[in-house]
Structure 1
Amino acid sequence: MTATATARTRIFRRRATGLAVAGTALVLAVPASATALAGQGAAAAADPVSVLKYTAKERKDALAYWTPARMKAVGKSVDLGPTGPKAKPWRGPTLKTVGRLFFVNAGGADTWCTATAVKSANRSAVMTAAHCVRRGSSPYNTNTAMVFVPAYHKGRTPYGAFAVRQAATPRTWEKDSVNDMSALTVDADKDGKKVTDAVGGQAIAFDRPVGGTVSAFGYSATRPQRGEELLRCTGTAKKEHGQQAISCDMSGGSSGGPWLAGFNTTTGKGGVLVSVNSALDSLTPTKMYGEVWKATAQKVYDRAQGR
């Protein structure tokens, strides 16, 4: 990892641009030998969900790796231009369920996305984008050292960090870069508290008709925030190219951030998670895209919540 990092934007279907921030001058595809790929062989082909699992040692090492100093350093290494005018810093009550998802990408670079704790049977599920977990159409290019830090703000980690134990994605993402969403299962914190016991969990919906006002949140790498503050866009969701879209100009780092329908901007409470930030319409963004969550997305979520 070099001291000076550059942003890497990954282009995928329908000219949309991936939003994960990558910090390295040279990115090489390398197999994640330390990460177990669940469900090999013929049986895996029939399973619509692909699961990455991280060992106890990998999770312990991830927590040790992501010191507060390293978290701040990765943001300083990336500058994706000025914030706004559509995206604005969130100045309402602290959104405890939303946080930064730090990891080392398949090329060995420190980077981050955004993720959200959700209501779940095991009280341990967190939603984000699939491209925050692994490269699309590339089964062995997976991310490592993943930790979720809810309510991250300017170097502060008020609820600690939760190591990612496993990451579920649609198998179509692994094979064909289709259906960019992921559900993570995280460990309890150092005091043994599960994530939704610590910060609560957003309600989540599947097969919801597209439409209505949506608040999208993310830790965009635009300046002056550069991932240190939570940004928000508000727009009316519309169907477009098989996905849903809102007016928004957040950029890299906001990947995986929540789309909340019915969110109360005064209290900072409520809101049903209906998608996550997936892609932009161009390098000078005007629209944010999110998947329409249907049966496969629910199966991915169920795998994360232990069902």
Structure 2
Amino acid sequence: MTSGKDISQASIAAASGSNRAGRPLEPGLHIAATPIGNARDVTLRLLDAFAAADLVLCEDTRETAKLLAIHGIAARLESYHEHNAERMRPRILKRLADGNAVVLVSDAGTPLISDPGYKLARDVIAAGHAITALPGPSSVLAALCVAGLPTDRFFFQGFLPAKAGARDKTIAELNSVPATLVILEAAKRLQPTLDALALGLGARDAAVTRELTKRFEEARRGSLDELAAHYKAEGPPRGEIVIVVAPPQDVQTDDATLDTALAVAMKTQSASRAAADVARALGIPRKRAYARALELAPADPPHNEP
């Protein structure tokens, strides 16, 4: 008996192309998830939809064409992305009014997650057309599965703002969210983002996942400080990145406890180093500890004029 791992791409393509022709797809918009890396994660339902659709809307037609080629399916492809969405939506609505079956996909994962697809879904619903989800791969859920952090409640942030001021403001807002955080990030910005998260959220456990479902999939776990130090030493990794951060601790640190810990630490360390150590020990944002350390630090003695 042949195992699933022994099935070649060619045999998958042959089966997909020959057995799916003629299967009907109901008129309306079908929002479909595509593999996030491993092409074998495609669902049978998506292959049926590709083969029967009147039109497939893609973030990048070249990427979707590669997936179709692997599975031996031909389909009419058109681009739909943030730069042409306003112009394309009336044309798509016209097709739906004519009874077409339209499939919407992104380059990887589920459309509408960190892309403009929700505006199309909103307009399709307003126009009274059918809308259907074809669920499948998701980098958000894959990252949560391998992070080893609480999954009973999570908050999907997506990408943080690129500019430091706006990023830090957003992180401050995330500090009080009582849930595991899921954050997307570009590899080149990973280390400064981890630094900012450690400063704004404190010594929380976290995981940096990359290349999920691909050959070099990795999940690196540790505190935010530890992860920031690792990538500062090693440099930015390659691949697609998802950061998962543990929720805030239940125990709230009062000002008196913080002051006592800082007073002890600053007997032998600078305010900056003491704040970092105390924040890590108490599980509080480093920014809070450092601000209080500056208030507690003795002022420099005045210089006497000769």
TM-score w.r.t. length of structure 1: 0.18
Question: Would you tell me which structure has more strand in proportion to its own residues?
Answer: 1
Larger RCO (CA under 8 A, 6+ residues apart) = 1
More helix by share: 2
